[in-house]
Amino acid sequence: MTDTADTESKPRNPIARVLMGVLIFQLGIGGLLILGDMQGLRLPSFGPDAPRLTEPVRPGDQRRTFRPDRDRPVTQPARDPGELPNRLVLTQTDGTTYRLEGEISAGDADRLAGLITQADPRPDTLILQSPGGSVQDALALGRVIRREGISTQMLAGEFCYSACPYLLASGTTRTIDTQASVGVHQHYFGQNTFLPAAFAVEDIQRGQAEVMTYLDEMGIDPLVMQHALSTPPDEIYVLLPEELETYGFIQKSE
């Protein structure tokens, strides 16, 4: 016979707690989406409008407006990216160190997997800079990077936003300069009409569960998703160095 008291006293798996929280959140979002489609409403923004990325980030003030074609972080860049390519580009910089930068476009995972595995010399470090893009491609390419035993790196003043942190997470070791900018937000699912909105909830839940499972595989605390889920797609939540440490992107200080 099962001891109910003992069963209830056992702590729940942290991943299960996160998934349950996301489920409740996504159901609420799904209801708002359907209501918005039926009545022509726009989802409300939570809190005041965020300032531009050119404004310094401070603890508790980390949400910034985000337009990839316009916004850049305030930190002094180690290298001016200019106009980033509209899909990922792999460029050798020095020996086995390569740059991987640009938007993450559909099909980039398959294309870059071939380039990375066939590169001579084989990459052992990827320096990242990207405004984000296709989540599915970021997850698929991230698994290739981890399988190949490649490290990831962020340089001072450079940025990794939206889906890019999933590539960053894939490194066997991760080096992030304190002046680099790493940010997360809700993933955008496009314009909704009544029927897509009604069915989108299941896809959103499945997608977020896949993202959290991936982060757990990479040794990242899935609770980082609490910041992503509370930040609209047209804003970005910039993670502070101490948060990057807390969530496992970088090694904790002794």
pLDDT tens track for 6-55: 444 445 566 666 666 655 655 555 555 444 444 444 444 444 578 988 88
Q: Is residue 134 one of the residues assigned to a domain?
A: yes
Tokens of 85: 């390519």
pLDDT computed for residue 50 by the predictor: 85
Residue range of the domain that includes 171: 75-184+242-254
211 within 8 A of 225, measured Cβ to Cβ: yes
- Determine phi and psi for 114, rounding to 5 degrees: -65, -45
Q: Is residue 110 one of the residues assigned to a domain?
A: yes
Q: Is residue 169 one of the residues assigned to a domain?
A: yes
Tokens of 231: 């930040």
How many domains would you assign to the chain? Answer: 1
State how far the Cα of 54 lies from the Cα of 44, in Å rounded to an integer.
Answer: 24
| Dihedral angle sign, alpha carbons of residues 240, 243, 247, 253 | positive
**pLDDT, average across residues 224-242:** 94
Q: Is residue 3 one of the residues assigned to a domain?
A: no
- Count of Cβ atoms closer than 10 Å to residue 52 Cβ: 13
> Which pTM was predicted?
0.79
Q: The CATH number of the domain where 84 resides is what?
A: 3.90.226.10
pLDDT tens track for 116-147: 999 999 999 999 999 999 999 999 999 999 99
- Give which of 239, 129, 231 is closest to 187, Cα–Cα: 231
- Count of Cβ atoms closer than 10 Å to residue 253 Cβ: 7
Q: Is residue 178 one of the residues assigned to a domain?
A: yes
- Determine phi and psi for 183, rounding to 5 degrees: -140, 155
List alpha helices for the chain, DSSP H. 4-9, 14-39, 108-118, 135-147, 164-169, 194-217, 225-229, 241-246
Q: Is residue 207 one of the residues assigned to a domain?
A: no
Q: Is residue 246 one of the residues assigned to a domain?
A: yes
Which residue would you say has higher pLDDT here, 193 or 76? 76
State how far the Cα of 252 lies from the Cα of 152, in Å rounded to an integer.
Answer: 17
Q: Is residue 114 one of the residues assigned to a domain?
A: yes
